[in-house]
Amino acid sequence: MKRLFSLLIVAFFSTAIFAQTKWNADLNHSKVTFSVTHLGISDVDGLFNKFEASAIANKADFSDAVFELSVNVASINTQIEMRDNHLRSADFFEVEKYPSMTFKSTSVTKVTKDRYKLNGNLTLRGITKPVTMDLWYRGTIENPQSKKLTAGFQLTGTLKRSDFELGPKFPAPMLSDEVKIKADGEFISEG
């Protein structure tokens, strides 16, 4: 009887640990930001106010996770209304024609204990390109207020705006081709 009880406990925990779980971004504790260099001498930062993100994982360390992100590009915010309106125009994001930017991961490669390379496809202005970003898994805890499991991540990397025909009238000396990306997120388990 004792052995049967032990086997049932092991089976229960194995199922619980390896069960597929969906995680949704807690938008109150998440953000998607970017930075470009202007005239080669200063950085201009911004963020997107409206987005959704999720992850589906079987493993507790998220080494098999599939991440998805959808950004409402019109929600761009650089704290200068005139610049934001210009970024929404056909010169840059052309939000009337391309209202969303999306990302879906294709693989996660473990680099160290909690650091990964996240590969996926980014679609912006109707152009889809493969990208590789750095992902830091910051851990999972039970949120003391909600009592739900919450996982933390930080995503960083660099994209080329020319790959997505973003601002082709603005050469690199005026506006850097490289755009630094940083996203921080808390993801809440649905399970």
Alpha helices in 58-151 (DSSP H): 81-88
Residue 8's pLDDT is what?
42
* Chain segment 80-96, per-residue pLDDT in tens: 999 999 999 999 999 99
Please say if the pLDDT value at position 4 is more than 70. Answer: no
Chain center to CA of 188: 14
Query: Do residues 118 and 104 lie in contact, with contact meaning Cβ atoms separated by under 8 Å?
Result: no
Torsion angle of the four alpha carbons 102, 106, 111, 114, in this order, in degrees rounded to the nearest 10? 60
CATH topology of domain 21-189: Lipocalin (2.40.128)
CA pair distance 7, 1, nearest whole angstrom: 10
pLDDT tens digits, 154-173: 999 999 999 999 999 999 88
Residue holding tokens 């999972």? Answer: 140
Specify the DSSP element, H or E, that contains 139: strand 127-142
Confidence of residue 10 (pLDDT cuts 50, 70, 90): very low
- The lowest-confidence range among 4-18, 50-64, 119-133 is 4-18
> Using an 8 Å Cβ cutoff, are 130 and 105 in contact?
no
Give the β-pairing of 178-189 and 42-48. Answer: unpaired
Global pTM reads 0.86
Residues 58-83: what's their mean pLDDT? 96
In the numeric block, which tokens belong to residue 132? 């590789």
**Model pLDDT, residue 3:** 52
